[in-house]
Amino acid sequence: MNRFAELLDRLAYEPGRNNKIRLLVGYFRETEDPDRGYALAALTGALSFKHAKPGLIRDLITERTDPVLFGYSYDYVGDLSETVALMWPKSSSAHHNESFRGHPSPQPSPTRGEGAQPACSPHNDVEGIDVSEGRTAGQTPSPLVGEGWGEGYRGRDRSEIPRTHNNPPPPTLTDVVTTLRTLGKAELPAQLARWLDELDETGRWALLKLVTGAMRIGISARLAKTAAAALGEKDPHEIELMWPGLSPPYLELFAWLEGRGDKPVNRDPTPFRPVMLAHAIEDTDFANLAAADFSAEWKWDGIRVQAVAGRDARGHIQARLYSRTGEDITGSFPDLVPSLHLPGAIDGELLVLRDGRVQTFNVLQQRLNRKVVSPKLIKEFPIHLRAYDLLGDDENDLRELPFAERRAHLEAFVAKLGDPRIDLSPTVSFASWEELAAARADPKSAGAGDDADAVEGVMLKRRDAPYLPGRPKGPWWKWKRDPHIIDAVLMYAQRGHGKRSSYYSDYTFGVWTRGEAGDELVPVGKAYFGFTDEELLQIDRFVRRNTTEKFGPVRHVVHEPDQGLVLEVAFEGLQRSPRHKSGVAMRFPRISRLRWDKPPREADRLETLERMLISMTGS
């Protein structure tokens, strides 16, 4: 457990992705089975313990500590698990209290008054240091002993008195996981308390994070799997493929990764297949591409998903919906499951359709990240799958086939499904890049019709390309519609993280609006990318030289009508947001240009955003 705790501790502070992977690989390499497997399970969210609630932990600490001191401490630390982990009383500190109580009360006697000898022999500078090093807990007769102070005070030489004195030895991660699985609710508090007694601070923190299921250390399941793959120098996609067929503590997986065993076979009827992604096309790319080699379709502004159905061991159809990173999101869209009644794997876009019309992303958002999917929600936001590609048809893996052939399979498959919730993504016909550019500029008259608002560009797919995992350059391109652009004024800057921690790289920007005392800037968004390294240096310098106030890591940067920095901000969409003072929130904002040439007074106004919002959403 302590080794796992150390890993979590380190991961929690490490901002860099590659460094996180390094830490994880190091852990997987050095840790034995089955501990490392349970660690992988904890990091991928494959473990959950239903009885461990924060209230239980609060009760445990309340029984053991002074409530006033707990209150002060909790206020200071701000996190329950951490407060409890840090102030959990431990056996080794007990001797201080005991000795204090056990001591005869020292008398304020004249013997310690004027003229009394100092308590210890004098130490002078350096020489004294070496000599006095030997004065460790209770070994050297203390000069205090003669005064009847006994061993009341032990100079704590921590190299001699291990403060994390664990007896019995602390539990392993495996002990914790296997015990928790079988433990009843009534036995949990006593067991948790025993473990907390046995672990050190970091161990207690990790234990409490583990049992309450609130890790929050910035590790995605995908990253943990990627690290496991790196252990055996395998492609993470391979793990992704076999993952649904594996279960903790993943002995088979680690045996394979270390070259001691065969590749685990995925018996999962509904495995996730790593997704193929596209590169953004640049104007200069077209010169090297022949229009005839490509098929085009609309790029729908929804959520890319993989809908997989297959037969389980008993021959029943099982269906799962995955995000493009392989997360199982079936639970959020139960209304789509009955439509997936034929074995196969569709790559498509999740959309909300009302009366046959594709709704904008803003509408679809109402269905995202819902814990509870109510019948009302299902009715008001009917979910739909628009199919782009077919990766598997029953038992057949189609991914090696060229796109044109897969498309034929897809058309047949969707027809066979015959379900109103699943349809084909129509192709866009074009003979030249100019024709396609025209279609992209006006999807409405190029076939998208009333659904044009939900089109965010076109996709180009080479007709002869197989379905390749990842983002290979060449076979697929995305050609987005031009983003929306406004000129905004830099208002606040915040330090970045990791490599950027010495730079002010997170920017809050605003636009003008009429305030009580004339025009004022109101923040409309925050962006931390889009600029080049050189531009980052320039903005950083500007921020440092034009700070008017500081609030912790945030700097208030000068933003007056004639003084300040105008940022050209590109974004994908707008929506109403009661959380923002301006009432609008941007999607995917980024800094597209620095307008050193433009005085802040000429930056855009909130009214401009309001107009854009109305034209985008019609509301």
Partner 1 sequence: MRGSSPRMTIRYRGIDAYMCGMRPQDILMPVPAGLCCKPGGFHIDPVRPVERALITHGHSDHARAGHGAVLATQETLDMMRLRYGENFAGSVQAVAYGEEIRLGDVTVSFHPAGHVLGSAQISVTCKDRRIVASGDYKDARDPTCAPFELVPCDVFITEATFGLPVFRHGDAAGEVNKLLASAKLFPERAHLVGAYSLGKAQRVIALLREAGYDAPIYLHGAMEKITYYYQERGIALGELRPVRGMKKAELAGTITLAPPSATSDVWTRRFPDPVTAFASGWMRVRARARQGGIELPLVISDHADWDGLTATIAATGAGEIWVTHGQEDALVHWCKSKGLAARPLDLVGYGDEDEGEAAAVTDEGEAQPGGESQPAGEAKKP
List the catalytic residues. Answer: 299
By the rule CB under 8 A, 370 interacts with partner 1: no
Whole-angstrom distance, CA of residue 171 vs CA of residue 196: 10
Whole-angstrom distance, CA of residue 457 vs CA of residue 478: 7
Cβ(555)–Cβ(504) below 8 Å:
yes
Sign of dihedral through CA atoms 36, 42, 47, 52? positive
Which of 156, 279, 595, 598 forms a contact with partner 1 (CB under 8 A)?
A: 156
Residue with smaller CB distance to partner 1, 314 or 550: 550
Continuous H helices in 460-545: 533-545
Q: Report whether the peptide linkage leading into residue 168 is cis, meaning its omega lies within 30 degrees of zero.
A: yes
Residue with smaller CB distance to partner 1, 207 or 296: 207
By the rule CB under 8 A, 114 interacts with partner 1: yes
Shortest Cβ 141–partner 1 spacing (Å)? 14
Residue with smaller CB distance to partner 1, 83 or 359: 83
Give the other-Cβ count within 10 Å of 244's Cβ: 19
Tokens describing residue 285? 């790319």
Shortest Cβ 4–partner 1 spacing (Å)? 15
Q: Which of residues 49-68 bind partner 1 (CB under 8 A)?
A: 65-66, 68
What letter represents residue 419's amino acid?
A: D
What letter represents residue 139's amino acid?
A: Q
Q: How many CA atoms lie within 13 A of 476 on its CB side?
A: 22
Shortest Cβ 169–partner 1 spacing (Å)? 17
Q: Which of residues 315-344 bind partner 1 (CB under 8 A)?
A: none
Shortest Cβ 27–partner 1 spacing (Å)? 11
Q: Which of residues 525-544 bind partner 1 (CB under 8 A)?
A: 540-541, 544
Q: Which of residues 120-149 bind partner 1 (CB under 8 A)?
A: 120-126, 128-129, 132-133, 135, 144, 147, 149
Residue with smaller CB distance to partner 1, 124 or 374: 124
- Per-residue contact flags (x/-) with partner 1 for residues 461 to 500, judged by CB under 8 A: ----------------------------------x-xxx-
Whole-angstrom distance, CA of residue 567 vs CA of residue 445: 34
Exposed / middle / buried, residue 229 (Cβ in 10 Å: 0-12, 13-18, 19+): buried
Residue 461: name the closest of 479, 443, 445 by CA: 479
Residue 422: name the closest of 477, 362, 345, 367 by CA: 345
By the rule CB under 8 A, 284 interacts with partner 1: no
Q: Which of residues 295-314 bind partner 1 (CB under 8 A)?
A: none
Q: Which stretch binds partner 1 (CB under 8 A): 101-109, 191-199, 312-320, 329-337?
A: 101-109
Indicate the DSSP class of residue 340.
-
Q: Which of residues 541-560 bind partner 1 (CB under 8 A)?
A: 541, 544-545, 552-553
By the rule CB under 8 A, 73 interacts with partner 1: yes
By the rule CB under 8 A, 207 interacts with partner 1: no
Which of 48, 62, 93, 432 forms a contact with partner 1 (CB under 8 A)?
A: 93
By the rule CB under 8 A, 200 interacts with partner 1: yes
Which of 432, 501, 532, 563 forms a contact with partner 1 (CB under 8 A)?
A: 501
What letter represents residue 321's amino acid?
A: L
Spacing of C-alpha 589 from chain mean position: 19
Whole-angstrom distance, CA of residue 266 vs CA of residue 282: 40
Q: Which stretch binds partner 1 (CB under 8 A): 22-30, 384-392, 460-468, 517-525?
A: 22-30
Sign of dihedral through CA atoms 420, 425, 429, 434? positive
By the rule CB under 8 A, 29 interacts with partner 1: no
